[in-house]
Amino acid sequence: MTRTTDTPHHLTVPPEGAGTRLDKWLTDAMPPLSRARIQALIEGSAVTCDGKPIRDAARKVKPGDRFTVRIPPPVAATPLPQSIVLDIVYEDESLIVVNKRAGLVVHPAAGNPDRTLVNALLAHCGESLRGIGGVARPGIVHRLDKDTSGLLVAAKTETAHTHLARQFAAHTIERRYDALVWGVPKPPSGTIVGDIGRSPHNRKKMAVVKRGGRAAETGYVTIATFGALAAHVQCRLKTGRTHQIRVHMAARGHPLIGDPVYGSGRKAPGRTDPVLAKALSAFGRQALHAAVLGFAHPVTGKALRFERDPPDDFTALVQQLRGRL
């Protein structure tokens, strides 16, 4: 079969395929694609059955099922090194920890082909990158959204990548985030549990879903309130799903201030001080900062823990909230 990125591939399950897992059947039916690649396409809603997105790779296929697989245009396998200023918190021969600024995309993708953190790390680390999967590239084991600031670790060797990935999979990484949310959470601290998957109403958004999602758990504690208007909360991740804090807080009725996806309908009430109302509406990103990152060093086993305060735009908004309420 010829892989054509701008043409959908239509496949129908024959009688002998009955009962096979969807990801395995598609892998057998599309030899150029690996099973991992098929699973990624399924998770990204690129596989549909009779026009409806399928996100369960373990689904058993039935004779006559008609699947369409859309393969997005490829991204260059080797991003180019680009000199971009980085706030480096820690670095050794195995890994590097950076304090990512808001607005910096982590990895090249459609719409952001370069000027990303990966491009910057390729330039900064150079020959110290000893290869991930046989390629001299940084090993990205977790991500932060483009407009989320804060701490992120990347591996420089295959060994470091493998061991860090295991820690993330085992949920032993310490991750604490600072967030500014609309309203005041009640109770002031607790745990939010809810599976996260693609929104059935908008496939570009994530949502708490009853089926087809992945288990997600977020702990939170309110550390400051600003009348009934807003609160400063600290969140700890037990899992790490896409947009997890943003989705879970929005599901509780407290979307992040500035969030263009999950909080776009919220604004300060009419009685709010006009200067503060303007500051809130002008905050140009979700008010979220990855403040703490802790893990075991992948080679020595030593416990490492890093902490960085939120950036100036975040702290300035906190000061506005404190001073005008």
Catalytic positions, please?
A: 145
Q: Tokens standing for 256?
A: 């992040």
Report the amino acid identity of residue 235. C
271: which residues sit within 8 A by CB, 6+ positions away?
A: none
State the Cα–Cα distance between residues 58 and 22, nearest whole angstrom.
6
66: which residues sit within 8 A by CB, 6+ positions away?
A: 10, 11, 12, 13, 49, 50
CB 12 within 8 A of CB 51: no
Report the amino acid identity of residue 147. D
Q: Is the dihedral of CA 111, 241, 158, 121 positive or negative?
A: positive
**In terms of Cα–Cα distance, which of 105, 108, 98, 32 is closest to 71?**
32
CA 109 to each of CA 79, 92, 119, 286: distance values in angstroms, whole numbers, following the listed order: 10, 28, 12, 21
Dihedral, 239, 243, 249, 255 alpha carbons, nearest 10: 170
Polymer length of the chain? 325
Dihedral, 187, 188, 193, 194 alpha carbons, nearest 10: 80
